[in-house]
Amino acid sequence: MSKKRGTILIVDDNKGVLESVRLFLKQRFEKVLTITDPNRIPALIRDEEVDVVLLDMNFSAGVITGNEGIYWLKRIASRDSSVVVVMITAYGDIELAVKAMKEGAFDFIVKPWDNQKLYATINAAMQLRHSHKEVSRLKNQKQLIISDTDRQFRIFRGTSPSMNKIYKTASKVAGTDANVLITGENGTGKELIAREIHRLSKRAGEIFMPVDLGSITETLFESELFGHAKGAFTDAGEDRTGRLESASGGTCFLDEISNASLSSQAKLLSALERKSITPVGSNREIPVDIRLISASNKNLKNMVEKGVFREDLYYRINTVEITLPPLRERKEDIPLLAESFLRHFSEKYGKYNIKTGRAAYESLQSYHWPGNVRELKHAVERAVILCSSDIITPEDLSIDTFPAAPVQDFQTASLEEAQKTVIINALNKSGGNITEAARQLQIPRQRLYRKIKKYDL
């Protein structure tokens, strides 16, 4: 007989009852735990992934009120409401058992019990527990998708030789589970390429989980990626599923991986090597199955040589590397990209007859685009909003009005210099409007304030 997966905890002060039930159930379920002291229940539920608790109604000698059982039933529910509890009661205490069911117990069995009835009850409880866990997993997954996906993602295919080569590489690697590192300046479309690889992969029907490591502080790194147990720290009011567990079966996209500290890098490497994670405040190891795609706007190889990025992690995430060229090096793609953005935003803002004038096209081609494709997208959106006729003019684009900071190659510039350059450009284009600059950069306004203060801008 194959054993059903799951863990059962039996709590009864009668050792004879414990042994009898254990011997019967261990032949049918993966793991059966027994204790005589109900005070050990919280610790066991914390350290073990208990699915079903078989709980006696009374523990103290001479006490037959059933209040002890109901007390521990409530304690279990407060710790993990998805754990299913089945009460053990004597024949004359059925009324108490019914009361316990009103308090949240799944069912009860009567001493002396019939083995078939016992098995049927525990099996039904286990099925309910698995349903609870699946619903919880899907809810967490959905919440993460909603919070992380604020806009539609599309890949805009260019005609330049460099981009055609990248698309071919992406198509080849998509059919494998090889880890991919995507490098390039800010705004070149690293996440779009990552999503295209996912879309073409065998995992396309599963979740694509983007994680911006640039916005996660070191203190929250483990909680965000690995999850945490209820009570693990001050604000941990409930169990939380980590990003890696939520991405299991699908693709996890680690953006700005160069921002991870050496300590965080070590923890990430350990999880990737073990293919499992341990939530903060828990001893349970959870297996994860992810396809990893990482992105960086900085040369990680140089960071390895400087000792600020782990060499073993670099090779772990870099089975295949794809480097995206800046927009200024593939200007033949600008018209196609601009028209794609124009179609999207003209539909979004109800300006269906709007077109790009010849002079505007010339401005698009002559501009150096320090913010790359992201800047082009915002320029077209702004033009659609501001255009007072059916023809977009250079004035509508507003791309040559403000002096631009010098463009720096992400391969040679430091991360600090690159970030400072991009922020200066955003502030210039927004006329010093912090809210607009943060929108262009697609980062929270408070984060932009911190960067401005840091770089003394």
Work out the angle between the directed axes of helices 358-366 and 372-386 (0-180°, nearest 10): 150
> CA-to-CA distance for 73 and 107, rounded, in angstroms?
12
pLDDT of residue 62: 53
pTM (2 d.p.): 0.58
pLDDT of residue 143: 59
Question: Using the 8-state DSSP alphabet, how is residue 188 labeled?
Answer: S
DSSP 228-256: E-TTSSTT--S-EE-HHHHTTTSEEEEET
- Beta-carbon contacts of residue 452 (< 8 Å; ≥ 6 apart): 423, 427, 434
* 8 Å CB contact between 56 and 110: no
**Domains in the chain: ranges and CATH:** 4-132 (3.40.50.2300), 161-323 (3.40.50.300), 327-454 (1.10.8.60)
Sign of CA dihedral 302, 304, 305, 307: positive
* 8 Å CB contact between 359 and 393: yes
Sign of CA dihedral 328, 329, 334, 335: positive
Sign of CA dihedral 429, 432, 433, 437: positive
Mean of pLDDT over the chain: 85
Q: Tell me which amino acid residue 199 is.
A: R
Q: Which residues of the chain have pLDDT under 50?
A: 146-151, 153, 401-410, 412
Task: Retrieve residue 252's tokens.
Answer: 């996890």
> CA-to-CA distance for 246 and 208, rounded, in angstroms?
10
Length of the chain: 457
pLDDT of residue 450: 74
The pLDDT tens digits for 264-293 are 999 999 999 999 999 988 888 999 999 999
Question: Using the 8-state DSSP alphabet, how is residue 298 labeled?
Answer: S
* 8 Å CB contact between 286 and 279: yes
Q: Tell me how far CA of residue 376 lies from CA of 195, 223, 322, 399, 408, in angstroms.
A: 20, 36, 22, 9, 18
Q: Tell me how far CA of residue 219 lies from CA of 193, 234, 446, 451, in angstroms.
A: 30, 13, 18, 19
Provide the phi-psi class of 363: left if phi over 0, else alpha when psi is between -120 and 50, else beta: alpha
